Amino acid sequence: MREKNVVQTKNLDWTYNGTKVLDDVSITIKPGTFTGILGPNGAGKTTLLKLILNLLDNEKDSVLITGKDIKTYSRKALAKIEAYVPQSVKIDFNFTVEQVVLMGRTPFLGRFDRESNEDIKIAEWAMQETGVLKLRGKLITHLSGGELQRVVIARALTQEPAILALDEPTSHLDIHHQINILSIIRSLAKRKNLTIVAVLHDVNHALEYCDNIFLLDQGKIVNSGSPEKVITPKVMKEVYNLNVNITKNPFTGNPYMLHDYA
Amino acid sequence: MISGKYRKIIFTLLVLILLGTIMIAGSLGSARISFSDVIKIIISPITPVGVENNVIKETSRIIIWKIRMPRIVLTVIAGMGLGVSGAVFQGIFRNPMANPYILGISSGAAFGVTLGMTMGLQITFLGIGAIPISAFIGAVGASVIVYLISGGGRDILPLLLSGIAIGFFLSAMMSLLMYFNRSQLENIVYWTMGSFNASSWQKAAITAPVILPGILFLIIFARDLNLMVLGEDSASSLGIPVRKSRLIFLLISTIITASAVAVSGVIGFVGLIVPHAMRIITGPDHRTLIPYSMMGGAILLLVSDTIARTIIAPTEIPVGIVTSLLGAPFFLFLLNRMRHPK
Ligand SMILES: Nc1ncnc2c1ncn2[C@@H]1O[C@H](COP(=O)(O)OP(=O)(O)OP(=O)(O)O)[C@@H](O)[C@H]1O
Ligand SMILES: [Mg+2]
């Protein structure tokens, strides 16, 4: 069977109030892969992620999800396929952790349904995976930044999506949980054929976890392909103005980046 | 927040408190009618003829059915509407300071009434006079204008600010009209303070089929509101068509509020404090918060109205004054409690 693209953008442009933020971006993402989107601040990574989640009013036929124009999906239908972990979350209302995680089941509930035991089991599984099960009764407004981030990831997993889009999912996490979360989603990609699209800032995380990388700079894809191919001293110098050396991580055998502090 | 099973018990308790308040409100007034008579009169249409009925004075029966009950029913319906739309507006604007008048409904209604009075408007519709009609049109009109000039509710902040701006503009227009038509001054000012003294079965019969199904609809769609308070992107990615849902929520709660304002004037604070107080019991889940706010609004407004018409009888004070006098200290008490939780 020919591998279909789950996510595809075709010559995608995006403009905020007259400023071009994305310029002719064409990407394809295969099912069950872990794709990293890298690039400096303001490169357009979040914007790209929002476009493949239909959160911005872009033109027809520029984003395809499982081969169909994203604009032909209803919100609810799309929410059964794609889940989103935003770059930052702010919740002022005193929901409990469990209530927030259970909201991930909403796309699957009819108008008059309450969450079933099955739904609660899925939420418990997601909280277990992300290590927030013991916080289930706590108020969301009382969580630390990293705990909140893991709750939002749990909510996205509770959606049981085919595509999981994460915007800097480890930005608030300690080093243990950074690795923990990325390893969990990688193993879900392998086991459940989940497609991961993650905006990452840590280049070494990208080298370790990604099957594919799109490097964005000033709204353009400047490089794409396997991590070894994209993350090179030359590219890092051009895009980040950083002197780097690529070595091997003795623990995993994958490429590892060392850099200058000048 | 209180756990699931107690919530049902407390809700039942609120229903009982409301029924009790209805009895008390029926009993109090210039002619005192005993509780047992009030109950007998109220249930008399459903009791078999001849049972004890002849003991009750005909005047009591007339006072209850013709004067007090229409007013009580109208107060309860309006209170339910204000409580519920307060909860919904606070959810949509993700702001616990929001209230049903935030889109200029109150100034729109007041302007409509002022315009109607100064022009000597003489229309009637389904037995409803010119004042409620002009209030309703003014209220809905102001919200529609706010919605349109703020870019169709694309974002909530412009909506909020436009609401404030239009509110000020319409208040100024109203003052201008009042300034040049001083003969109507007292009527207008009195109307804006809110009162149920012009209640009638007609008014109850026309507001109930608007407000009650509106509340039912909001309860059915309450889950969407839970997601909308998480923010537009999160709600969208969880399957909620946010702009469409927001428009529907705004439309329904605007019509509910406008109907309540049309028959009673501008009654402050109910839509602000009731959802606050109820949230302490229910937590933020709108599926329980909305029904609770419905009961809380009805009780608060009925208590306030009963005080308004009895405390210095035979003079009646506008109920809007009572709700604010009772509401403001209570609100401060709640705020204080939130800042220093036990
Ligand atoms: N709502 C908006 N209105 C106007 N400009 C915006 C808006 N959102 C983002 N931009 C601009 O678009 C550009 C791309 O923003 P985007 O959020 O996609 O960057 P990013 O790559 O995610 O950056 P970061 O690494 O800092 O998160 C930036 O220059 C930003 O200032
Ligand atoms: Mg970003």
CA–CA separation, B182 vs B190, rounded Å? Answer: 13
Q: Measured from the CA of A87, which atom of ligand 1 is nearest?
A: 27
If you measure CA to CA, which chain A residue comes closest to B338?
Answer: A94
Residue A193 domain-assigned (yes or no): yes
Query: Number of residue pairs across A and B with CB atoms under 8 Å?
Result: 71
Q: Are B307 and B25 in contact (CB under 8 A)?
A: no
Across B89-116, average pLDDT:
88
Residue A44 domain-assigned (yes or no): yes
In Å, how far is B231's CA from the nearest CA of chain A?
A: 8
Across A234-256, average pLDDT:
91
Residues with CB under 5 A from ligand 2 (ion): A 46, 87
Do A76 and A199 lie in a common domain?
Answer: yes
Across B96-103, average pLDDT:
85
Residue A249 domain-assigned (yes or no): no
Instruction: Please work out, in degrees rounded to the nearest 5, the angle formed at the alpha carbon of residue B199 by the alpha carbons of B198 and B203.
Output: 120
Encode pLDDT of B173-224 as tens digits.
988 988 888 888 888 888 888 888 888 888 898 899 999 999 999 999 999 9
Mutate to test the pocket of ligand 1, among A46, A49, A200, A214 (most ligand atoms within 8 A of CB): A46
pLDDT at residue B342 in the model:
47
How far, in Å, are B54, B74, B306 from residue B22 at the CA level? 23, 12, 9
Do A1 and A64 lie in a common domain?
Answer: yes
Q: Please report, rounded to a whole number, the percentage of residues in chain A having pLDDT higher than 90.
A: 82
Encode pLDDT of B60-76 as tens digits.
888 888 888 999 999 99
Do A22 and A76 lie in a common domain?
Answer: yes
The domain defined by B4-339 carries CATH number 1.10.3470.10: yes
Do A97 and A47 lie in a common domain?
Answer: no
Do A138 and A175 lie in a common domain?
Answer: no
DSSP-derived 3-state class of residue A257: strand
Helix orientation angle between B105-119 and B156-180, rounded to the nearest 10 degrees? 20
**Of the residues A108, A138, A160, the one at which a domain ends:** A160
CA–CA separation, A170 vs A154, rounded Å? Answer: 13
pLDDT at residue B55 in the model:
67
CA–CA separation, B34 vs A62, rounded Å? Answer: 74
Q: Which residue type sits at B297?
A: G
Nearest to A75 among B96, B226, B236 (CB): B236
Residue A114 domain-assigned (yes or no): yes
Residue A187 domain-assigned (yes or no): yes
DSSP-derived 3-state class of residue B122: coil
Residue A238 domain-assigned (yes or no): no
Do A25 and A76 lie in a common domain?
Answer: yes
Helix orientation angle between B286-310 and B270-282, rounded to the nearest 10 degrees? 130
Q: How far is CA A171 from the centre of its chain?
A: 12
Dig out the tokens for B324 from the structure. Answer: 């604010």
CA–CA separation, B136 vs B305, rounded Å? Answer: 21
Nearest to B227 among A78, A86, A103 (CB): A103
Do A199 and A75 lie in a common domain?
Answer: yes
CA–CA separation, A99 vs A136, rounded Å? Answer: 8
Residue A253 domain-assigned (yes or no): no
CA–CA separation, A13 vs A138, rounded Å? Answer: 42
Higher pLDDT, A21 or A91: A21
CB contact under 8 A, B237 and A93: no
CATH of the domain at A35: 3.40.50.300
- Counting the structural domains of chain A, the total is 2
* Helical spans, DSSP H, in chain B: 4-27, 35-43, 58-62, 69-92, 105-119, 130-149, 156-180, 185-192, 201-220, 222-228, 232-237, 242-264, 270-282, 286-310, 319-339
Instruction: Please work out, in degrees rounded to the nearest 5, the angle formed at the alpha carbon of residue B280 by the alpha carbons of B278 and B281.
Output: 70
- Nearest residue by C-alpha to atom 12 in ligand 1: A21
Numbered residues of chain A with Cβ closer than 8 Å to any chain B Cβ = 50, 53-55, 74-76, 78-80, 82-84, 86, 89-96, 99-100, 103-104, 106-107, 109, 111-112, 159
HSE-up of A111 (CA within 13 Å, CB side)?
A: 5
DSSP-derived 3-state class of residue B216: helix
Do A11 and A99 lie in a common domain?
Answer: no
How far, in Å, are B108, B155, B166, B334 from residue B162 at the CA level? 13, 11, 6, 29
Do A104 and A153 lie in a common domain?
Answer: yes
Per-residue pLDDT at B22 exceeds 70: yes
Do A41 and A101 lie in a common domain?
Answer: no
The model scores a pTM over 0.95: no
Q: Report the residue of B93, B238, B246, B334 to disrupt the A interface, i.e. the one with the largest count of A CBs within 10 Å.
A: B238
Q: Which residue type sits at B204?
A: A
For residue A198, give the nearest of A213, A218, A179 by alpha carbon. Answer: A213
Portion 65-94 of B in contact with A at CB < 8 A: 94
In Å, how far is A73's CA from the nearest CA of chain B?
A: 10
Residue A184 domain-assigned (yes or no): yes
CA–CA separation, A36 vs B22, rounded Å? Answer: 64
CB contact under 8 A, B284 and A159: no
Encode pLDDT of B47-57 as tens digits.
665 555 566 77
A151 touches ligand 1 (CB under 6 Å): no
Do A108 and A155 lie in a common domain?
Answer: yes
Q: Which domain holds residue A58?
A: 1-81+161-227
Do A167 and A59 lie in a common domain?
Answer: yes
For residue A13, give the nearest of A54, A63, A55 by alpha carbon. Answer: A63
CA–CA separation, B72 vs B26, rounded Å? Answer: 8
Encode pLDDT of A57-75 as tens digits.
888 889 999 989 999 999 9
How far, in Å, are A34, A122, A178, A255 from residue A247 at the CA level? 22, 41, 21, 6
Per-residue pLDDT at A2 exceeds 50: no
Across A209-234, average pLDDT:
94
Task: Give per-residue burial for A44-53: e unless 16+ CB within 10 Å, then b.
Answer: bbbbbbbbbb
CA–CA separation, B18 vs B328, rounded Å? Answer: 22
Q: Across-strand partners of A257?
A: A246
CB contact under 8 A, A106 and B238: yes
Per-residue pLDDT at B1 exceeds 60: no
How far, in Å, are B195, B277, B329 from residue B325 at the CA level? 15, 16, 7
- Nearest residue by C-alpha to atom 17 in ligand 1: A46
Q: Across-strand partners of A197?
A: A35, A165
Rama region for A96: left / alpha / beta (φ>0; ψ in -120 to 50; rest): beta
pLDDT at residue B200 in the model:
86
Mean residue pLDDT of chain B comes to 87
- Strand (E) or helix (H) holding A35: strand A34-38
**Of the residues A135, A160, A185, the one at which a domain ends:** A160
Ranking A18-27, A97-106, B111-120 by mean pLDDT, the lowest is B111-120
A245 touches ligand 1 (CB under 6 Å): no
Across B327-339, average pLDDT:
79
